[in-house]
Amino acid sequence: MGVLPEQTTYLVIGAGVHGLSTAWHLAMELRARGKGSGDDIVVVDKTAPGAGATGIACGCVRNFYMTEPMHALMRHSADVWMSDPIRLGFQQVGYISAGEENQQADYERIVANQNAVGYHSDIYVGKDAKKFLKSIWPDFNVDQVGVCHFEQPSGYAGTRQAVAGMAEKCAEQGVRVLSGIEVEGYDVTNGQITKVRTSVGEIACDVVVICVGAWIGKHWQMLGQPMKLDCAYPDGGTAEKDMWTYWRLLEGEVYFDQPYRTADDKDPPVLHVELMNTPVINEQTGEEMDDHLYVYWKNGAERMDRPGIQGGTIPIRIGPEAAVEPYGHANDTYQADPWFPDYMTSAMGHLMARFKGHRRKFRDRRNGGIGAFTPDNVPIFDWVLPNAYMIADSNHGFKLAGVGKLVARLLAGDNRVSELEPFTYARFAEGRTFGSSNSHCPWV
């Protein structure tokens, strides 16, 4: 535990990907503008860097979103990861998403918009989609595939490397990252936070940045914000929603004895497949597990003790209440379900012959974790109070490592950053709530 100073200009709460990225970029931004340095920033974490979702994520970085304003954000994220891929543990292997014909129009829109904002991707339709997938994975079962795309800037990050790399970047800039200090309350005077109460005493600050991941509901309440929200949609409709909804993630790992490589012997792109009309059949029992298939995976890399794959499927909605403590793998309640290994390995075996019969290779250990999602499952980046900025990513964090860089510009004095504007809290009241997407998954 570090020593909490009595005062700081910027207090960042939470040392996950957002807290660390924001502090690191803010330090550089202040220095570049001659307005200060990392000495003006303190990050506190109740446990330590990477103690939340950031430390257990799959680390996939991709831009496959039907919510188009996300595309421009992701370009900044790719820039951040590629600013130092070695120290941040980023592998720019690209990303491929494949679907059935019914998603062709969505893919066309996504790829057109990605390219319009400078995120290079290509689309393949019909026979071309099948040929493209086979050129990378010759054993890919392309029978039901009608469309796919390839994002060149995407890839995956190792979570431990990412946390260590970002913490080093902060330290290099003079930012103090203090572990074992829990924020317990906010002193608000005339609508502004003047002091933050912690487990080791108070700290006065000019600006607070709240980046507390799945703990956001608690901080939202501490700031007296409403737990229900009227959401107005662009079509004039309205709906009352819970402010935060918890989902638990279903992820795991499968050992694979041969190196998992492409046809030309490279680390394969991150793969995501949603086949809305294709059932998942349990390889062992022959029973239908679900009437549609949704799976993603990538090389297991730093997560594995020997070669293998890491991946998952659609998370499961818990609801507006969830026991966030203990977090992640330590929480008995939120581990991947017993059916998940059957589902994951059956879907993998269905899609690639190399994975057939791999149920016994599923790595039996704790996996998963929970996230707090917003009313429309799209992040909120905004001032909660005039001097308190919130990064609530709705569980898209590794993909949004660039948000800290953009938020740093606001914190350093810019009045507006256009890429962040669609994500303000005011969107719910102003009829800009994002709608549902053509996917079974809340992340698309």
Ligand X SMILES: Cc1cc2nc3c(=O)[nH]c(=O)nc-3n(C[C@H](O)[C@H](O)[C@H](O)COP(=O)(O)OP(=O)(O)OC[C@H]3O[C@@H](n4cnc5c(N)ncnc54)[C@H](O)[C@@H]3O)c2cc1C
Binding site for ligand X (CB under 6 A): 13-19, 44-47, 51-54, 56-60, 182-183, 211-215, 249, 251, 368-369, 371, 393, 395-399
Q: Nearest approach, Cβ of 246 to ligand X (angstroms)?
A: 11
Q: Nearest approach, Cβ of 187 to ligand X (angstroms)?
A: 15
Centre a 10 Å sphere on the Cβ of residue 40 and count the other Cβ atoms it contains. Answer: 18
Identify which of residues 399 and 409 has a Cβ nearer to ligand X in the complex.
399
Q: Nearest approach, Cβ of 313 to ligand X (angstroms)?
A: 12
Strand pairing class (7-13; 270-275): unpaired
Q: Nearest approach, Cβ of 288 to ligand X (angstroms)?
A: 26
DSSP state string for 149-161 = EEESS-EEE-HHH
Q: Nearest approach, Cβ of 212 to ligand X (angstroms)?
A: 4
Q: Nearest approach, Cβ of 403 to ligand X (angstroms)?
A: 9
Torsion angle, CA of 274/277/283/287, rounded to 10 degrees?
Answer: 140
d(CA 132, CA 138): 10
Q: Nearest approach, Cβ of 144 to ligand X (angstroms)?
A: 24
Identify which of residues 153 and 213 has a Cβ nearer to ligand X in the complex.
213
319 touches 227 (CB < 8 A): no
Give residue 129's Cα distance to chain centre. Answer: 27
Tokens of 428: 């719910």
Q: Nearest approach, Cβ of 145 to ligand X (angstroms)?
A: 22
Identify which of residues 16 and 442 has a Cβ nearer to ligand X in the complex.
16
Identify which of residues 362 and 398 has a Cβ nearer to ligand X in the complex.
398
Nearest Cα to 411, choosing from 224, 223, 166, 210? 210
Identify which of residues 141 and 387 has a Cβ nearer to ligand X in the complex.
387
Identify which of residues 129 and 388 has a Cβ nearer to ligand X in the complex.
388
Q: Nearest approach, Cβ of 235 to ligand X (angstroms)?
A: 29
Give the three-class secondary structure for 169.
helix
Identify which of residues 150 and 398 has a Cβ nearer to ligand X in the complex.
398
Q: Nearest approach, Cβ of 378 to ligand X (angstroms)?
A: 13
Q: Nearest approach, Cβ of 211 to ligand X (angstroms)?
A: 5
Strand pairing class (369-373; 245-255): antiparallel
Identify which of residues 64 and 132 has a Cβ nearer to ligand X in the complex.
64
User: 306: number of CA atoms within 13 Å, CB side?
Assistant: 7
DSSP state string for 94-127 = -EEEEE-GGGHHHHHHHHHHHHHTT--EEEEETH
Residue least distant from ligand X (Cβ): 52
Centre a 10 Å sphere on the Cβ of residue 399 and count the other Cβ atoms it contains. Answer: 29
Q: Nearest approach, Cβ of 5 to ligand X (angstroms)?
A: 15
Nearest Cα to 215, choosing from 14, 433, 5? 14
Separation of first and last alpha carbons in the chain: 39
Burial string for 83-117 (b: 16+ CB within 10 Å, else e) reads eeeeebbbbbbbbbbbbbeebbebbeebbebbeeb
Identify which of residues 65 and 434 has a Cβ nearer to ligand X in the complex.
65
Residues in the chain: 444
Identify which of residues 16 and 341 has a Cβ nearer to ligand X in the complex.
16
Peptide bond into 85 cis (omega under 30): no
Identify which of residues 30 and 216 has a Cβ nearer to ligand X in the complex.
216
DSSP state string for 70-89 = HHHHHHHHHHHHHHSHHHHT
The neighbouring-strand residues paired with 183 are 198
Give residue 262's Cα distance to chain centre. Answer: 26
Tokens of 317: 């909605």
Identify which of residues 214 and 231 has a Cβ nearer to ligand X in the complex.
214
